[in-house]
A and B are shown apart, each in its own frame.
Chain A
């Protein structure tokens, strides 16, 4: 479904990604793991279109979208849940969710999608009239994911959803993400620093280190792989 083919991207003179290629099949769960600063967020932003690539191709459902504007990619069903949540704090939960249903395909089925989101996160239904600013970090993350789901994505991309959450809350979020993939049949691209948690969930994973993919494999051979610790902490 998604084929990222040798892209390079960066900011100003910095080339954050170098010749990165990843593949994601329909309904698949792919994790990208690597230390901070490896370029994980930049990779997601390149796919969602908020960062321009300097070379390479990105195919989404066999269409090269590398020159497409970000809002058109959203229209195709590529939805990114940004790092740090970025919910609208002065709006209520319901308003936040409704804003997620901006995509034309999603507008017809707001009720239905809302139901799906509330089934995943019952707490959002309980507090649907509350201002989002009163939420804890974990609840805000649920809201951000829920908002992403409201647009009925084909591909949901999550940028460090566990950031700033306690290990327990983080685990809960990870469980929900797995549920989204299995029950709602949405392909998930997860970017995480917490290597074990992300790799446990995924079908396949990639290790990103200083802008390059150093290894790509299935879950079993990545779990506990010493290359990962080397990516994070190096060898003397």
Chain B
């Protein structure tokens, strides 16, 4: 029942109780340890690392943007509040938020340019900043800062009894875990996880990836800034740059999150609870004879985890649980619903995709029924003319097929239409508006959906969640997004698997999921990239039926396709490209008997000898 209510987007207390219990457990351990300072300090470190790693997890785990220079935010938060306290006598409780704001500001300054970098470049770029911070802080004379002891207890955030810090840490931890859980369940969280797996696909689903990444980065830095203040004040006497900006911080963060399970709520909690006590106790045993022993331990553990447990302990646990849960039922499903390409195709005709919330059909100044107009577009790639003066009118509500042999410019035209490429010359109009240089996510918001040639499925999510990523393009409310997605999944015959993880799907299920996700963005026009590639004739026929169903519901479809013989059976209208030029246009019959097209596909000799024209 809880699962049912959760699905409907209700707030479920049961989802949050375990998070509070973590805090209670910390306090319980604290109570058991009693006044033994040494063990209390270890407990405090455990809790603070849980906090820092949970924050790190937001941008690097869920968002997949690994921040190698993450220690900058620990240090920025801590140094800011300590310096404010020391020189301006600012109350640390206020300083804590100022420090957090400084950390978030730094994240903005760093993230704005660098988050546009892809892959490892962002991760590497961030390393530079803490490295630069250390000499700058030293130059300002703050390499070592004595924290004046005001001895006013809670007012100056200075406690001689470590247990107060543990209490603070426990409260922060519960708050952070709640924040993370709320992100997990939100549109923002889905967007983050989507872009982690595939930025291009996320963009195509209407996610403004740069903005989402930047927000996650700033939020993560802000929360770590807060933790940094508690961490630095709990040191009590002397704050040094290595303690606040040191490389060991990121090594520990990575070890803890990866061992526990990166990108999961419980990963940082598990990782820290295991690694920090072991590391501290071992260091106490042999640290005097072997300085840096703890770093050695973290290094080895990190290495082992990456090799043997890349998804971490929590990842392994959930994998085992999932396997236990789904194995028997998956077998039944496979028997009940064999991927029979013939049976769904019968329903293909009747299926229509009119959605819960239909769009206002604002046709603007759309000229005589053409929804998209590509006007005299040219595109160069290093001297090669990929497109030359191509003009295409796309009639509303129809299926337009674009064909052409390899290198004809099909994909380039497709990318100009969907915003991944800007042309050198020419314009693209959607519903009469110039959209030539708009980004994919903007076009998605305006009503242009797309599918990918190689299906871009987010496979850490369920099938329904995959569809929801699309629905979030226009629907902010998670409950309504779920409702829209369920309706589309039903029409696409995916309901029986909606709650399964999107792995191990048959090729047709994958394709149906792609179409579902594109439809969930509630488009007026769908761009379909080579849907038949690699499919057999029966499967191609099935895809054709899906596309016909979409067009019958009033959504315009543009199909870029190499497999002409499947396309001619359902396209209303075709355009033929060759060597970057439009060489044919008209009904499928006209286009496939066009001598230009015959030559492009079968060669000049064939056209001369055998083609009837």
* Chain A contact residues, CB within 8 Å of chain B: 10-11, 13-16, 18, 35-37, 163, 167, 193-197, 209-212, 224, 226, 228-236
B502-548, CB < 8 A from A: 505-507, 510, 532-537, 540
User: Can you name 18 A-B pairs with beta carbons within 8 Å?
Assistant: A14-B535, A16-B534, A18-B536, A35-B562, A36-B405, A37-B532, A37-B533, A194-B603, A195-B602, A196-B603, A210-B537, A224-B609, A228-B602, A229-B606, A233-B568, A234-B569, A235-B565, A236-B592
> Bound state CA distance, A11 and B534, in angstroms?
9
Complex interface residues of chain B between 594 and 609 (CB less than 8 A to chain A): 597-598, 601-606, 609
Specify the chain A residue showing the minimal Cβ separation from B610. Answer: A224
Find residues 486-509 in chain B having any chain A CB closer than 8 Å to their own CB. Answer: 505-507
B580 within 8 A of A: no
Closest chain A CB from B541 CB (angstroms): 11
Docked complex Cα distance between A193 and B566 (Å): 18
Of B406, B587, B598, B609, most buried by chain A (CB within 10 Å of CB) is B406
**Distance (whole angstroms) from the CB of B379 to the closest CB of chain A:** 19
- Rounded to whole Å, the gap between the CB of A232 and the closest CB of chain B is 5
A194–B564 Cα distance when bound, in Å, is 16
Chain B interface (Cβ within 8 Å of chain A)? 405-406, 505-507, 510, 532-537, 540, 562-569, 587-589, 592, 597-598, 601-606, 609-611
Question: B597 touches which one: A16, A228, A233 (CB < 8 A)?
Answer: A233
Query: Counting chain A CB atoms within 10 Å of each CB, which of B505, B537, B569, B601 scores highest?
Result: B601
B534 and A36 form a contact (CB under 8 A):
no
A11 to B507, CA, bound (A): 11
Whether A233 and B592, one on each chain, are in contact in the complex, defined by CB atoms closer than 8 angstroms, is: yes
Inside 8 A of B609's CB, which chain A residues have their CB? 196, 224
Chain A proximity of B122: nearest CB distance (Å)? 28
Give every chain B residue within 8 A of A212 (Cβ-Cβ).
Answer: 536-537
Known: A16-B534, A36-B562. A234 touches B568 (CB 8 A): yes
Alpha-carbon gap, A234 to B570, bound state (A): 12
Residues of B within 8 A of A226 (CB): 610
Shortest C-beta distance, A41 to chain B (Å), equals: 12
A108 to B592, CA, bound (A): 53
B534 contact set on A, CB distance < 8 A: 10-11, 14-16, 37, 211
Q: How far, in Å, is A229 (CB) from chain B's closest CB?
A: 6
Besides A35-B565, A211-B534, A234-B566, 19 new A-B residue pairs in contact (Cβ under 8 A), listed by A number: A11-B534, A13-B507, A14-B535, A167-B604, A193-B405, A196-B603, A196-B606, A197-B603, A212-B536, A228-B606, A229-B598, A229-B602, A229-B610, A232-B564, A234-B565, A234-B567, A234-B569, A235-B568, A236-B592
Query: Bound complex: CA of A229 vs CA of B598, how far in Å?
Result: 8
Residues of A near B533 (CB, < 8 A) are 37
A211 and B601: CB pair below 8 A? no
* Complex Cα spacing A11 to B405, Å: 22
Whole-angstrom distance between the Cβ of A54 and the nearest chain B Cβ: 14
Q: Inside 8 A of B510's CB, which chain A residues have their CB?
A: 13
In the bound complex, residues from chain A placing their C-beta under 8 Å from that of B597 are 233
CB of A210 within 8 A of CB of B602, answer: no
B341 to chain A, nearest CB (A): 12
Chain A contact residues: over half helix, strand or loop, or mixed? mixed
Within the complex, the shortest CB–CB distance from B279 to chain A, in Å, comes to 42
Alpha-carbon distance between A193 and B533 when the two chains are bound, in angstroms:
16
Question: Whole-angstrom distance from the CB of B88 to the nearest CB of chain A?
Answer: 61
Across-interface contacts of B610 in A (CB, < 8 A): 196, 224, 226, 229
- Nearest B residue to A167, CB-CB: B604
Residues of B within 8 A of A167 (CB): 603-604
| Cα(A228)–Cα(B610), bound, Å | 11
Query: B527: shortest Cβ distance to chain A, in Å?
Result: 19
**Nearest Cβ in chain A — how far from B174, in angstroms?**
43
> When A229-B598, A229-B602, A236-B592 are in contact, do A35 and B536 touch as well, CB less than 8 Å?
no
Bound CA span A35–B598, Å: 12
A234 to B403, CA, bound (A): 12
Which of A11, A163, A195, A234 is the one whose CB lies under 8 Å from B564?
A: A234
Nearest 10 A/B pairs, CB to CB: A234-B565, A14-B534, A196-B605, A233-B592, A234-B568, A13-B507, A194-B603, A236-B589, A224-B610, A232-B601
> How far is the CB of A47 from the nearest CB of chain B, in Å?
19
Chain B hits for A230, CB < 8 A: 565
Q: Given the complex of chains A and B, what is the CA–CA distance between A159 and B505 in angstroms?
A: 31
Which residue of chain B is the closest to A194 with respect to CB atoms? B603
Q: How close is B36's CB to chain A, nearest CB, in angstroms?
A: 57
How far does the alpha carbon of A167 sit from the alpha carbon of B569 in the complex, in Å? 31
Do A36 and B406 have beta carbons less than 8 Å apart? yes
A210 touches B507 (CB 8 A): no
Q: Assess A210 versus B535: contact at CB under 8 Å? Given A195-B606, A234-B592.
A: yes
Given contacts A195-B606, A211-B536, A229-B598, A13 and B505 within 8 Å (CB-CB): yes
Q: Are A233 and B536 in contact (CB under 8 A)?
A: no
Residue of A nearest to B593 (CB): A233
Report the nearest B residue to A37, measured CB to CB.
B562
Give the nearest-CB partner of B568 in chain A.
A234
**Given A210-B540, A232-B601, are A13 and B606 also a contact pair (CB < 8 Å)?**
no
B-chain residues with CB within 8 Å of residue A194 when the two chains form the complex? 602-603, 605
Bound Cα distance from A194 to B604, whole angstroms? 9
Do residues A229 and B611 form an inter-chain contact, with CB atoms below 8 A?
Answer: yes
Closest to B407 in A: A164
Which residues of the other chain, A, contact B592 by a CB distance below 8 angstroms? 233-236
Known: A194-B603, A211-B536. A37 touches B563 (CB 8 A): yes
A225: shortest Cβ distance to chain B, in Å? 9
Is the CB–CB distance between A35 and B564 below 8 Å?
yes
**Cβ-neighbour of B603 out of A37, A195, A231 (below 8 A):** A195
- Cβ-defined contact, B603 with A233, below 8 A: no
CA distance A215 to B506 in the complex (A): 29
Give the chain A neighbours of B532 by CB distance below 8 A. 37
Contacts of B606 in A (CB 8 A): 195-196, 228-229
Residues of A within 8 A of B535 (CB): 14, 210
Cross-chain contact of B506 among A13, A195, A211 (Cβ < 8 A): A13
Bound Cα distance from A21 to B303, whole angstroms: 48
Residues of B within 8 A of A211 (CB): 534, 536
Min distance, Cβ B548 to any Cβ of chain A, angstroms: 15
- Could you say which residues of chain A place their CB within 8 Å of the CB of B507? 13-15
* Shortest distance between the CB of B481 and any CB in chain A (Å): 27
Which of A11, A224, A229 gathers most chain B CB within 10 Å?
Answer: A229
User: Within 8 Å CB of B602, what residues of A?
Assistant: 194-196, 228-229, 232-233
